[in-house]
Amino acid sequence: MITHHKFENLGAANHGWLNAKHHFSFANYYDPQKLCHGELMVINDDSIAPNTGFDTHPHQNMEIITYVRKGAITHKDNKGNQGRTTAGNVQVMSAGTGIYHSEFNLENEETNIYQIWIKPKTIGIEPEWNMAQFPKQPIKDSLQLLVSGDETAQLNINQDARIYAGRLNRGTKITHNVIGKAYVLISEGNIAVNGNIAKKGDGLAISEETSLELEALNDAELLIIEVPGKENAR
C-alpha cells in the first residue's frame, strides 16, 4: 500500500525565521491519522532563515537525523560535540539519557533540512552525535545507504532502521527492495514510485510492499527511510 502525502497538504507552521512543513503530527499540528509510521515519529521539512536557528534545548530517548538539502546547519551540544553539516550531507544524534543542543543556520542564505525522528531500539543509552559527507554524483543502479542501525552505513543509530538517498538523472530507473515500513521523500524534481507520480516536497508512506520501482521524470533527488513495522501511538 502506498499513501501519497502531497506537499501542499502537509501540516504547516511559519514562525518567520522558520518555515516548517510537518509530515506527521508535531507541536501545534495534530492529525490523528498521521501520528507516526511504524517507528518513524517525525519528519519536518524546515526552511531556516540566514543567521537564525534553534536555541539550546533538550532531547531524550530519540534518534534524530538531519539531512541538509540546501545551505548548512551548525550543531553544538553539552557533550562537547560541534560541527557544520553542508548540503547533501547528514548528521545523527542519539539523545539517549539526555542531551542539550542547538542547531543554527550561520550562513548568508536560507538553509533547508529534513529533520527526522525515529523511536530508539533501546532507551537510556549514552548520548552520541556524528556527521558524515557523501558523494554527490548521480546514481545509476542503487541508492546509497547513509544511516543504519547495524553499522553497515557510515552513520549509525540506535534502531533497526535505514536511510537511503540518491540523485537521479532524468530517465534513470532503479528497483529498491524494502524491509519493514518505508517513507519516501522527494527532495528535488519529480519521481514515479510504483507508478505514483510525486513531486518535490511530497512524501509517500509505504506499507506491505517488498520493492519500489523508481523512475526519475527529470533530474531529481529522493530519500527512503525504512523502519520496523510496529505501529506506535505517541
DSSP state of 7: G
Does 159 map to a domain?
yes
Q: Give residue 144's pLDDT.
A: 95
Per-residue pLDDT band for 233 (boundaries 50, 70, 90) equals very low
The two beta strands, 72-77 and 181-188, are: unpaired
| Residues 90 and 156 reside in one and the same domain | no
Q: Among all chains, which residue has been given the C-alpha cell 546514481?
A: 139
Q: Give residue 31's pLDDT.
A: 87
**CB contact at 8 A, 186 and 198:** yes
- Domain range for residue 51? 11-132
Longest distance between any two alpha carbons in the chain, whole Å: 46
Residue-wise pLDDT tens digits, 107-123: 999 999 999 999 999 99
| Residues 41 and 121 reside in one and the same domain | yes
Does 36 map to a domain?
yes
**CB contact at 8 A, 227 and 40:** yes
**Total domain count for the chain?**
2
Name which of 165, 184, 159, 160 is nearest 62 in CA terms: 159
| Domain boundary, last residue among 108, 132, 156 | 132
Mean pLDDT of 90-95: 98
Average pLDDT over all residues of the chain: 95
Mean pLDDT of 172-201: 96
Structure-block grid coordinates of residue 69: 538539502
Per-residue pLDDT band for 204 (boundaries 50, 70, 90) equals very high
Q: Which of 25-34, 36-45, 78-87, 108-117 has the lowest mean pLDDT?
A: 25-34
| Residues 33 and 110 reside in one and the same domain | yes
Mean pLDDT of 33-43: 94
Q: Is the pLDDT of residue 103 over 90?
A: yes
- Please state the pTM of the whole predicted model: 0.94
Phi, psi of 29 (to 5 degrees): -95, 125
Per-residue pLDDT band for 23 (boundaries 50, 70, 90) equals very high
First to last CA, the chain: 23
| Domain boundary, last residue among 112, 132, 152 | 132
Question: 101 exposed, middle or buried (CB, 10 Å; 0-12, 13-18, 19+)?
Answer: buried
Mean pLDDT of 135-161: 94
| Residues 122 and 29 reside in one and the same domain | yes
| Residues 15 and 124 reside in one and the same domain | yes
Does 6 map to a domain?
no
| Residues 27 and 126 reside in one and the same domain | yes
| Residues 20 and 125 reside in one and the same domain | yes
Mean pLDDT of 25-36: 91
Tell me how far apart the alpha carbons of residues 91 and 84 are, in angstroms, rounded to a whole number.
Answer: 9
Does 138 map to a domain?
no
| Residues 98 and 155 reside in one and the same domain | no
Does 188 map to a domain?
yes
| % of the chain surpassing 90 pLDDT | 93
| Residues 109 and 148 reside in one and the same domain | no
Name which of 112, 159, 127, 117 is nearest 27 in CA terms: 117
**CB contact at 8 A, 83 and 131:** yes
Per-residue pLDDT band for 74 (boundaries 50, 70, 90) equals very high
CATH number of the domain that 45 lies in? 2.60.120.10
Does 232 map to a domain?
no
| Domain boundary, last residue among 132, 153, 175 | 132
Q: Three-class SS of residue 169? A: coil
Q: How many CB atoms lie within 10 A of CB 8?
A: 10
Structure-block grid coordinates of residue 105: 543556520
Sheet holding 82-86, edge to edge: 52-59, 99-105, 72-77, 82-86
| Residues 169 and 93 reside in one and the same domain | no
Q: Give residue 200's pLDDT.
A: 97
| Residues 210 and 167 reside in one and the same domain | yes
Does 5 map to a domain?
no
Q: Give residue 231's pLDDT.
A: 53
Q: Three-class SS of residue 8? A: helix
Q: Is the pLDDT of residue 232 over 80?
A: no
Does 162 map to a domain?
yes
| Residues 124 and 164 reside in one and the same domain | no
